[in-house]
Amino acid sequence: MWRLILRNLLRNKRRTVLTMSSVAITMFLVSSLAMVYTALGKPFAEGEKMPLLLVRRATSINEPLPAGYESRIKAVPGVVALSKAAWFAGYWRDPANTFANLGVDPDTVFEVQSGARIPPDHLATFKRERTAAVAGKKLVEKFGWKIGDRIALLGSYWGITPELTLVGIFEGGPDDQFWFHWEYLNEAAGRPNTAGIYWVRIDQPENAAEVASAIDRNFRNSDAETKTESVNQFLLNLIATLGSVRKAILMIGSAVTFAILLVVANAMAMSIRERVSESAVMRSMGFRPAQVVFIFVSESVFLTLTGALIGVVVAKFLYDALALTHIGPFAVADMRMRAETLGLCAALAVLIASLAAGWPAYRAARANIAMALRYVG
């Protein structure tokens, strides 16, 4: 039976290739939209398993916290290390060159961001020199920076223009960020003594909810209450500033899926309509109606799945190679094809193929044999 299905698919090679190509292109678009939709809802696949929490102001991400919260956060059971950071939100040379740049504590930042790896001599220089800065490898490659470059950050709401020297490059962790001394920023800004966030490394990811709750209880009813959350939740709050992007993607994805259904349904309906008399011959030879339906639907599923596989594989290799991380200037997410996205696309392809061929195949299989033999498609 499978040989018969394959021979039927190769009967009209042009139609098969065109239909498969249409499905491949549209499934490439669907998988791309599904990837972005997934990233907007869950920025990092392993984000909930990271032993890292972020403490921010409960009222708004944009409002700072007092810098004196460090000792009280460090005293919470389960906290292994913490480091404060202040958003600077500047750009380099041109407003188009925006990236995450922060004033950090050079003595503690690499203890908390344990995934970030930096050569010991780079780190020693960073800690020692007041105007020193370090940058992630992705950022350095993007702008062509090298050790010793002077980098001026412009356009920040802080109202200052720090002149910094790149003394180190780190890999891993948030390697698209730029860090310089929090103390230098604090002094240049007139000593407001504030921090935008606190990075907190905990002992076990499983204790995240308990530790976060304990930190927030510490500052309840204070002038600056805190909100402690996972990396994914923090990024979701940043992504929320982009508006209802997920709804728009869902609507576009639904429209594209409907378009695929029409393409496949039209191709399969034409193919089955041309073979009504053939189905009657098969039934007269002893094929049951269910077997005829199975053959027609299997052809549709094989055709659609093959096209979908081509489209999804191309999308996976493309986005894995690009390694995109930015949804907006400061909203980051892992923009690679995940297992759930691949599963969704495969299930969608089978559903579309079954819907497209199911009804025409059923009608052809249940038609009166005598009338079907005289049918001309």
Angle at 280 between CA 278 and CA 286, to 5 degrees: 110
Q: What is the pLDDT of residue 294?
A: 78
Per-residue CA distances from 99 to 94, 187, 323 (Å):
11, 23, 16
User: For residue 214, is pLDDT > 90?
Assistant: yes
Cα 189 to its chain centre, rounded Å, is 36
| Average pLDDT, rounded, for the chain | 82
Whole-angstrom distance, CA of residue 370 vs CA of residue 285 = 13
Phi and psi torsions of 308, nearest 5°: -65, -40
User: For residue 140, is pLDDT > 80?
Assistant: yes
Per-residue CA distances from 290 to 9, 279, 295, 298, 357 (Å):
19, 11, 9, 12, 13
Is residue 2 exposed (0-12), middle (13-18) or buried (19+ Cβ within 10 Å)? Answer: exposed
Average pLDDT over every residue of 321-347: 71
Q: What is the pLDDT of residue 81?
A: 92
Bridge partners, residue 65, by sequence: 195
Asked if residue 179 lies in contact with residue 131, where contact means CB atoms within 8 angstroms, the answer is no
Average pLDDT over every residue of 56-77: 90
Whole-angstrom distance, CA of residue 137 vs CA of residue 143 = 10
> Percent of the chain having pLDDT more than 70?
81
Quote the DSSP letter at residue 98.
B
Predicted TM-score of the model (pTM)? 0.65
Whole-angstrom distance, CA of residue 42 vs CA of residue 142 = 26
Asked if residue 272 lies in contact with residue 39, where contact means CB atoms within 8 angstroms, the answer is no
User: Which tokens belong to 134?
Assistant: 């370090």
Q: Which residue has the higher pLDDT, 177 or 282?
A: 177
Asked if residue 134 lies in contact with residue 213, where contact means CB atoms within 8 angstroms, the answer is no
Q: Which residue has the higher pLDDT, 181 or 251?
A: 181
β-bridge pairing 324-326 and 79-87 = unpaired
Q: What is the pLDDT of residue 368?
A: 60
Q: What is the pLDDT of residue 336?
A: 76
Q: What is the pLDDT of residue 90?
A: 93
SS3 of 263-313: HHHHHHHHHHHCCHHHHHHHHHCCCCHHHHHHHHHHHHHHHHHHHHHHHHH
Banded model confidence at residue 238, pLDDT cuts 50, 70, 90: low
User: For residue 328, is pLDDT > 60?
Assistant: no
> Percent of the chain having pLDDT more than 90?
36
Whole-angstrom distance, CA of residue 100 vs CA of residue 91 = 9
Q: What is the pLDDT of residue 122?
A: 96
